[in-house]
């Protein structure tokens, strides 16, 4: 008799079968794919043994593409596409002044810029999809089966648009995204699982991530399998590329050359600088033969001390961000139990020395800093695929910038403050501003400033069709929900009628690390001015409320309850408030409003008495007694 294979609904018929899942570090310069095999996470090499894949793509006229080292050979009129990650989630306007625009031709006809290639226009999403597809193919070939999904890492400062663009690229590559994971959090997963017991419950860990083009510093608290990001900060144009360019400038000065003859010579010089940097990570001095267009233009010894002098300003800038993230998290340096080094640029000895001195402890470099992010992603993917049912690992990332709504007066009301742990849902109640209002326009914004004009607009939507009531009578609840991937949904409900509206925030372009850094810096540098501007705006809103109420009352029955002289006095006070509103003088606005309110007291009292009389009109004592009985 044949036996039937029985399984629970939604569960595998082979419950003990290992599900194939991968972790992908989608990098600006290089990308990696890793997986867990026999309980150990490791990076998967290609057929030649190379563990990383250059994030370079070259499209051919037949629509196919070369990825990695094969794409670095310039075989057409179009340059191979590098650093496409920098344009993920960006708009055409973001190309202005961007270095990529100097090296590539772009189709800017749409809202999203596209690289011009032999196969036609290709967006950064399409380029990233080719890289992800190559990593997927490598994993499937190595593991010998289909994948259930992948965890893909993104920089901590990627916003909604950039995260969504990453998901879109994965979909184009045929990958099921189990989760997007912040790169610092992935590094914490790699180290936290391996060394969590040694660190102790409640320990604070610093993730220092200095890559080829960006820098991130995050503080995480590790406790009973929970990885909570306390605070994070970062900066663009801080990384190994900056070291390379500083070294190129030094070599140019030594050689006596004022400039490079062409782009090819500059690219060759950058490659030489990178080799010198890597050699000095292990040696105290190196002999240099600086070659430009095949000709040796300078020969000499380059000592570690001279190299350190070039690196020191960059390292000091990263330490400034370390100071800020400690302040944001309310953590003292001596509370940091461990410092994890991530990114190839942390191999530079001076960087390790300065970070070690700053935190007054040895830094962790047990796991290859180039691979630690991919390994952490693989561990998380293994858990999400269901291969570790006993694992109760929980990851809690944070929002990099505050999310909120525009309120009257152009004010930004923060609903979810920056550095709030995600996933998160926060609700706040608002009300109507005018009598008879039956709709409300909601404007979702992102940023730290007090005025909407200084924040970034994310989305607009309208809640319409609720009942007309006097101003302030209705209660409208607005709910902000940020999921585990950092994507935002905003919904609004009017409680009396049950009217509902919502929007998924998927803006057409994103913010760079530098723009976010600038927004945070401005919020601190301009805090005093912002609070004064907010106070002035709030004063104007309140004055406008009073002015509108008095004006409506005067138009309704002002002549009935006021003499000509009394009406003239109130009209003069109204004009005074209107004049004060045109100024930036809070005291003048406040004084004018108080004068209007005081001058209108008798009018308000007469209207109230008249209203009571109208309610009582035509009813005798017997009628009132019968109604009460």
Burial of 567 (0-12, 13-18, 19+ CB in 10 A): middle
Residue with tokens 């009132």: 624
Q: How confident is the model at residue 10 (pLDDT cuts 50, 70, 90)?
A: very low
- Kindly report the number of other CB atoms within 10 A of residue 130's CB atom: 26
Burial of 483 (0-12, 13-18, 19+ CB in 10 A): middle
* Residues counted in the chain: 629
Phi-psi region of 340 (alpha: psi -120 to 50; beta: other; left: phi over 0): beta
Given the residues 209, 241, 448, 494, select the one marked as catalytic: 209
HSE (CB half, 13 Å, CA atoms) of 397? 28
pLDDT tens figures, 464-488: 888 888 777 788 888 888 877 677 8
pLDDT tens figures, 150-181: 999 988 777 777 888 898 899 889 999 988 88
Three-state DSSP class for residue 312: helix
Q: How confident is the model at residue 72 (pLDDT cuts 50, 70, 90)?
A: confident
Lowest-confidence segment of 478-487, 525-534, 573-582 by average pLDDT = 525-534
- pLDDT at position 506 is 54
- Kindly report the number of other CB atoms within 10 A of residue 89's CB atom: 26
Given the residues 66, 130, 168, 183, select the one marked as catalytic: 183
Q: What is the DSSP letter of 363?
A: P
The angle formed by the CA atoms of residues 436, 442 and 446, to the nearest 5 degrees, is: 155
The predicted model scores a pTM of 0.60
Most confident of 72-76, 394-398, 458-462: 458-462
* 85 catalytic per annotation: yes
* 360 catalytic per annotation: no
- pLDDT at position 120 is 87
Q: What is the DSSP letter of 402?
A: -
- pLDDT at position 97 is 63
pLDDT tens figures, 205-244: 899 999 877 788 988 887 655 667 788 887 766 778 888 8
The mean predicted confidence, pLDDT, of the chain is 81
* 167 catalytic per annotation: no
CA distance 236 to 232: 14
Which long-range contacts link 548-556 to residues 24+ away (Cβ below 8 Å)? Answer: 548/434, 550/574, 550/596, 550/600, 552/435, 553/603, 553/604, 553/607, 554/603
Average pLDDT over residues 447-458: 82
* 8 catalytic per annotation: no
pLDDT tens figures, 369-427: 999 999 999 999 998 887 765 554 555 566 777 888 888 778 888 888 876 767 788 88
Average pLDDT over residues 526-533: 72
Q: Which helix (H) or strand (E) holds 513?
A: helix 513-525
- pLDDT at position 613 is 73
Crossing angle between the packed helical segments 564-581 and 601-616, to the nearest 10 degrees: 120
Using omega within 30 degrees of 0 as the cis cutoff, is the peptide bond preceding 423 cis? yes
CA distance 13 to 4: 10
Given the residues 66, 85, 414, 530, select the one marked as catalytic: 85
CA 274 from centroid of its chain's CA atoms: 30
């Amino acid at each position: 008799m044949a036996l039937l294979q029985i399984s629970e609904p939604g569960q595998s018929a082979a419950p003990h079968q290992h599900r194939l899942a991968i972790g992908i570090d989608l990098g600006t310069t290089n990308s990696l794919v890793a997986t867990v095999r026999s309980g150990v996470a490791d990076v998967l090499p290609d057929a030649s043994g190379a563990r990383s894949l250059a994030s370079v793509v070259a499209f051919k006229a037949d629509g196919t593409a070369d990825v990695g080292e094969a794409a670095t050979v310039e075989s057409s009129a179009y340059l191979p596409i590098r650093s496409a990650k920098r344009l993920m989630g960006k708009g055409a306007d973001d190309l202005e002044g961007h270095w990529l625009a100097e090296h590539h031709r772009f189709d800017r006809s749409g809202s999203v810029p596209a690289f011009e290639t032999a196969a036609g226009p290709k967006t950064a999403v399409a380029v990233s999809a080719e890289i992800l597809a190559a990593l997927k193919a490598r994993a499937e070939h190595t593991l010998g089966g289909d994948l259930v999904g992948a965890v893909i890492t993104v920089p901590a400062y990627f916003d909604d648009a950039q995260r969504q663009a990453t998901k879109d690229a994965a979909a184009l590559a045929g990958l099921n995204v189990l989760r997007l994971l912040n790169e610092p959090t992935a590094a914490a997963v790699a180290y936290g699982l391996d060394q969590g017991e040694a660190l102790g419950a409640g320990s604070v860990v610093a993730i220092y991530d200095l890559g080829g083009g960006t820098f991130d510093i995050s503080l995480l608290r590790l406790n009973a399998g929970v990885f909570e990001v306390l605070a994070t900060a970062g900066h663009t144009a801080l990384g190994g590329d900056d070291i390379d360019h500083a070294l190129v400038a030094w070599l140019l000065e030594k050689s006596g050359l004022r400039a490079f003859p062409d782009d090819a010579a500059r690219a060759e010089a950058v490659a030489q600088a990178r080799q010198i940097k890597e050699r000095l990570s292990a040696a105290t001095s190196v002999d240099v033969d600086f070659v430009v267009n095949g000709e040796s233009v300078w020969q000499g010894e380059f000592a570690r001390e001279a190299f350190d002098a070039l690196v020191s300003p960059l390292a000091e800038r990263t330490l400034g961000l370390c100071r800020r993230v400690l302040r944001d998290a309310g953590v003292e340096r001596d509370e940091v139990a461990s410092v994890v080094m991530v990114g190839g640029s942390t191999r530079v000895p001076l960087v390790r020395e300065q970070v070690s001195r700053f935190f007054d402890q040895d830094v962790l470099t047990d796991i290859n800093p180039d691979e630690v992010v991919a390994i952490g992603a693989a561990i998380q993917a293994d858990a999400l695929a269901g291969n570790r049912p006993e694992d109760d690992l929980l990851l809690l990332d944070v929002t990099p910038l505050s999310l909120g709504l525009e309120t009257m007066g152009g004010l930004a009301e923060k609903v979810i403050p920056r550095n709030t742990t995600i996933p998160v849902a926060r609700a706040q109640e608002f009300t109507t501003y005018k009598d008879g209002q039956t709709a409300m326009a909601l404007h979702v914004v992102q940023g730290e400033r007090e005025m909407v004009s200084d924040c970034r607009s994310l989305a607009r939507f309208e809640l319409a069709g609720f009942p007309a009531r006097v101003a302030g009578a209705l209660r409208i609840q607005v709910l902000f929900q940020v999921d585990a991937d950092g994507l935002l949904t905003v919904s609004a409900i009017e409680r009396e009628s049950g009217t509902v509206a919502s929007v998924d925030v998927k803006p057409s372009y994103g913010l760079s690390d530098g723009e976010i850094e600038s927004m945070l810096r401005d919020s601190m540098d301009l805090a005093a001015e912002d609070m004064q501007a907010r106070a002035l705006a709030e004063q104007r809103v309140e004055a406008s409320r009073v002015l509108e109420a008095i004006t409506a009352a005067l138009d309704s029955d002002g002549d009935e309850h006021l003499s000509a002289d009394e009406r003239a006095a109130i009209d003069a006070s109204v004009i005074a408030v209107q004049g004060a509103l045109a100024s930036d003088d809070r005291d003048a606005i406040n004084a004018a409003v108080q004068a209007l309110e005081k001058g209108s007291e008798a009018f308000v009292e007469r209207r109230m008495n008249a209203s009571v009389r109208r309610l009582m009109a035509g009813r005798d004592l017997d009628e009132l007694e019968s109604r009460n009985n």
